[in-house]
Structure 1
Amino acid sequence: MKIHYLQHVYFEGPADIVRWARKKGHKLTGTHLYNYEALPDMDGFDWLVIMGGPMNIYEEEKYPWLKYEKQFIKKAIESNKVVLGICLGAQLINDVLGGKVTKNLEREIGWLPVTFNSSILKSSFFKNFPKEHYVFQWHGDTFSTLPEGAVCIASSEVCSNQAFIYNKNVIGFQFHMESTRDSISLLIDNCLDEIKDGGSYVQSEDEIKSQMNLLIDANSLMENFLNGLEAYYLEGK
C-alpha cells in the first residue's frame, strides 16, 4: 500500500505514523509544501495523510501553496482515496467539502479529554477506544460547521467538533494521536509563544512534558485506528 503525506512545516511530520507504516511494510512518501515540492499524480498513492501546521486554512496570500493543496485534497476525495487529516489537515478537508473553519471558543493546547460518540465506538475503526480519553491538542481554529454528509464522532468541553467521518474513507481528527516525544518537543520549541499567551485550556510547557506517558495509550489508539482503516481499504480492493 502506498501512503502519501502532506507536510506544512518542517516540525510537524507524520511522527508515529512512520513507525506504523514501516511495521506494516507500506511505502511512505511525502510532499513538503513549505518547500514548494511537487504533488504526486493520483495514481501514485492509495492513502493521503494531511498533517498539521501553525497556519490557518484561509491564509492563502501568506502561504500560496494552500490553494493548490486544497484542489489536490478535493481531487483525492473525488478519486475515492482514503484521506486522513490531522489538526490543520482535518480543517482543510472540512473546508474543501463545504464546511466552515473558524476560531474555536478557546485555544486547546496540552493533554485534554475528548469524548467519542457511543455510536462510532461500534465501528471497526474505533474498536477498543474508550468513551473518553486524554489526547494531545494544539489548535486555535476548528471545523465549526461540518459539511453535508459528514458525521461528528468526538467532542470536548469547548470544541463540539473534535473529529468527523465522511463517506467512511475520509476522516478528520482535530487532536494528535500520532504525536511522539520528539514531535511534541518540536512543537513547543517552535510555537512557544502560543503557550506563553496562556488560556483556560492551555497547559504550560512543564505540564505538557510531565504527561508524556499518555503517549503510550494515544499511539496505541492510533495504531488500532490505522489497522481498522487498513482492513477496510484492503477489503474493498
Structure 2
Amino acid sequence: MKVHFIVHESFEAPGAYETWVNARGHEASYSRVYANQALPTDASHFDLLVVLGGPQDPATTVEQCPHFDAAAECRLIRQAITAGKAVVGVCLGSQLIGEALGASFDHSPEKEIGKFPIRLTHEGKTNDKVSHFGETLHVGHWHNDMPGLTADAKVLATSEGCPRQIVEYTPLVYGFQCHMEFTSEVIERLIAACEAELATLSDRRFVQQPATLRANDWDQMNQKLYVFLDNLAEELWATRTAQA
C-alpha cells in the first residue's frame, strides 16, 4: 500500500501513523508543505491519504500562511474520495475533509490539549473499524476547532469538551479531531513549539501542562490506532476486489 502524508508543520509529525506504515511494510511518501514540498498532482500516486494537523484552520489564507493552501488540499481530498482512495484526516486534516465535502468547520466548545477520554456513540460501538476502542478510550488532543458534518456523516466518538472527535464520512473516509498518533517524541516537538502558549492556558480545564503531557503513556492508544488502520486497509482492498 502506498500512503501519502500531508505534513503542515515540522512539529505536527505522523507519529504512530508512520510507525504503522513501516511495521506493515507499506510505502510512505510526503508533502512537507512547511518545507515547500508540492502536493501530489492527483490521487493516482497513493492508496491512502493522511492529512495531518497544524495551527492553521481551513479559513487560513495563503496570504496569512504562504505554505498552506487549503483550497489545493481540499481539491486533492475530493479527487482521492472520488477515486475510491482511503482518506484519514487528523485535527486540521479532519476539518479539511469536511470542507472538501461542503461541510464548514466549527469552533469546538472547549480547547483540549493533553490526554482525555473519548466515548463511542451508538454509531461508533457498531462500527467495525473503531468498536475495538471500547466504550471509552483515553487519547491525545491538541485543538480549538472541529470538523463540519455532511448529511451522511456519522459521529463515532465524542468527548466532554468536543462533540465531534471521530467522524465517518464514508466507509473509506474518516476524520479524527483527536490525535491518536501522539508519541513521546511528537509531544516533545509540540511542547517545544507551544510552551509559551501553554503557560497562558493553565486555567483551562482541558489543557495539560508540559510535565503532565510528558508523563502520559500513549502506547494503548497507538495500538488501537494500528487496528483501525488495519481495518481500513481491509475495507479498501475489499472494495477494490468487489469492483474488479
Sort the TM-score into its range (normalised by shorter chain): over 0.9
SS at match of 2:132: coil
Do the aligned residues in 2 keep the contact of 1:162 with 1:175 (CA within 8 Å)? yes
The one-letter code sitting in structure 2 at the alignment partner of 1:62 is Q
Higher strand share: 1
Do the aligned residues in 2 keep the contact of 1:16 with 1:180 (CA within 8 Å)? yes
SS at match of 2:181: coil
Q: What residue number does 1:63 align with?
A: 65
Does 2:168 align with 1:165? yes
Residues 157-215 of structure 1 show CA distances to partners (whole Å, capped at 9, x for unaligned) of: 1211111001211000001111111001101110123311211211111111122x2x1
Whole-angstrom CA distance in 2 between matches of 1:97 and 1:235: 24
Do the aligned residues in 2 keep the contact of 1:83 with 1:170 (CA within 8 Å)? yes
How many Å apart are 1:117 and its aligned residue? 1.3
The one-letter code sitting in structure 1 at the alignment partner of 2:234 is A
Aligned counterpart for 1:206 among listed residues 208, 211, 217: 211
Do the aligned residues in 2 keep the contact of 1:125 with 1:225 (CA within 8 Å)? yes
Q: What residue number does 2:137 align with?
A: 133
The one-letter code sitting in structure 1 at the alignment partner of 2:214 is K
Q: Which runs of 5+ in 1 are unaligned?
A: none
Q: What residue number does 1:230 align with?
A: 233
Greater shift after overlay, 163-172 or 67-76? 67-76
Q: What residue number does 1:49 align with?
A: 50
The one-letter code sitting in structure 2 at the alignment partner of 1:116 is L
> How many equivalent residue pairs?
234
SS at match of 2:129: helix
Whole-angstrom CA distance in 2 between matches of 1:11 and 1:158: 24
Q: Which runs of 5+ in 2 are unaligned?
A: none
Do the aligned residues in 1 keep the contact of 2:171 with 2:235 (CA within 8 Å)? no
The one-letter code sitting in structure 2 at the alignment partner of 1:170 is V
Residues 95-146 of structure 1 show CA distances to partners (whole Å, capped at 9, x for unaligned) of: 1112221322221001111101133223321242111111110001112x41
TM-score (normalizing by structure 1): 0.94
Do the aligned residues in 2 keep the contact of 1:115 with 1:132 (CA within 8 Å)? yes
Q: Mapping of 1:25-174 within 5 angstroms?
A: 25-40=25-40, 41-60=42-61, 61-64=63-66, 65-143=69-147, 145-174=148-177
Whole-angstrom CA distance in 1 between matches of 2:157 and 2:176: 9
Alpha-carbon RMSD across the aligned residues, in angstroms, is 1.4
Which consecutive aligned stretches of 4+ in structure 1 deviate over 3 angstroms post-superposition? none
Whole-angstrom CA distance in 1 between matches of 2:157 and 2:107: 18
Percent identity over paired residues? 32
TM-score (normalizing by structure 2): 0.91
